[in-house]
Amino acid sequence: MNVAPKTLRHLAELQQAGLTPDQKREALEQVAAHYAIAITPEMVSLIDPRDPHDPIARQFVPDAAELEHRPEERADPIGDQAHSPVKGVVHRYPDRALLKLTHICAVYCRFCFRREMVGPAAEPLTGEQLDAALGYIASHPEIWEVILTGGDPLVLSARRIRQVVTRLAAMSHVKIVRVHTRVPVADPSRITPELVRALKARGKATYVVLHANHARELTDAARQACARLVDAGIPMLSQSVLLAGVNDDPATLGDLMRTLVECRIKPYYLHHGDLAPGTAHLRTSIEHGQELMRQLHGRVSGLCQPSYVLDIPGGFGKSPIGPSYLARDASGRTVVEDFSGRHHCYPPAATNPAG
């Protein structure tokens, strides 16, 4: 009798799969005691255990470096709590709000900015708390867009998602429902026709934003899951995190963005790594990120260009931090740099009209 592969959640399971070395067990037990572990069969199948630098393993397999906490790192690096008027809601920007339906994910990323808050031990929203969260959104007519996040909202049942989406659809001021998820790549079988139907709010526009960081995550099954969403009329965008040793070179990053576009997913955000505890080994410098964006500019299609952003610590929101292509020369004229690194005055010097 064949036993279906299961999600790996314990160090012993990771060791048995050859994903963690026995000599680091003591340190990794300390990591596992503090931060949740889950690696789905889909992600396990992509990992080459012989490669100590495997980019998929680097995202999901615990690392002893997670025990190294730096002074600048924060348990709530982007300031969710400072903008949470009721449990489950983050209202940082005037016209949109996050609705955190669950703290559970299909997989737990080692760089997660909510790593102190997510995991199977975290308390889910009670029915009363969900009512209060939806009541807050209903009572704030300036909220034009609601972003379902968590955790990962698509680990919930289609029935539960339909209930929430239906209640949002009844709010006349809410026009957009956006869903942030890793499920289409981490557990693509969950993207069923029933779930797709549950995501569509009557009279509203639904968008799904996929979190993917490496082109290998877009397996055939993941592509089919995304196609089910797009073919149902749900536009897809992407968000990726710039990660050292995962996607921080031009070829890998460009391959990811092209693969997303091939799947009819528009690259949206490239996040600079947040200051979450124990994640310094995965963060790059901003200067390196800016140079990567320069290398993408002009060398891959405009469809493949994400916005490189930093979520300012303390809850001050996202800011674009991509490179600038404008400068001023000594005479005060605007100088613009093209994709080959050449510089041009704008407007160009006047030419003599034809005689």
Q: Is 325 tagged catalytic?
A: no
Q: Is 51 tagged catalytic?
A: no
Fill in the amino acid letter for 17.
Answer: A
Rounded CA separation 105/270 (Å) = 21
Q: Is 109 tagged catalytic?
A: yes
Among 9, 24, 96, 294, the active-site one is 96
Among 92, 115, 182, 223, the active-site one is 92
Q: Give the phi and the psi of residue 108 in degrees, each rounded to 5.
A: -115, 115
Q: CB–CB of 279/116 below 8 Å?
A: no
Q: Is 269 tagged catalytic?
A: no
Among 114, 115, 223, 283, the active-site one is 114
Q: Is 93 tagged catalytic?
A: yes
Q: CA 35, 41, 46 angle in degrees (round to 5)?
A: 95
Q: Is 304 tagged catalytic?
A: no
Other Cβ atoms within 10 Å of 114 Cβ, number: 22
Rounded CA separation 88/175 (Å) = 20
Among 54, 100, 105, 187, the active-site one is 105
Give the position of tokens 């025990």: 67
Among 35, 58, 74, 109, the active-site one is 109
Among 9, 258, 294, 318, the active-site one is 318
- Six-digit token string for 257: 């963005």
- Six-digit token string for 51: 């490669």
- Strand partners for 149: 100
User: Distance of CA 200 to CAs 26, 42, 154, 162, 208, Å?
Assistant: 47, 26, 13, 8, 11
Alpha-carbon dihedral of residues 309, 310, 311, 313, nearest 10 degrees? -170
Fill in the amino acid letter for 216.
Answer: R
Q: Is 258 tagged catalytic?
A: no
Q: Is 311 tagged catalytic?
A: yes
Among 35, 63, 76, 112, the active-site one is 112
User: Distance of CA 19 to CAs 63, 145, 171, 304, Å?
Assistant: 11, 41, 47, 33
Give the position of tokens 């339909």: 162
Q: Is 274 tagged catalytic?
A: yes
Rounded CA separation 293/284 (Å) = 13
Q: Is 268 tagged catalytic?
A: no
Active-site positions read 92-93, 96, 105, 109, 112, 114, 274, 311, 318
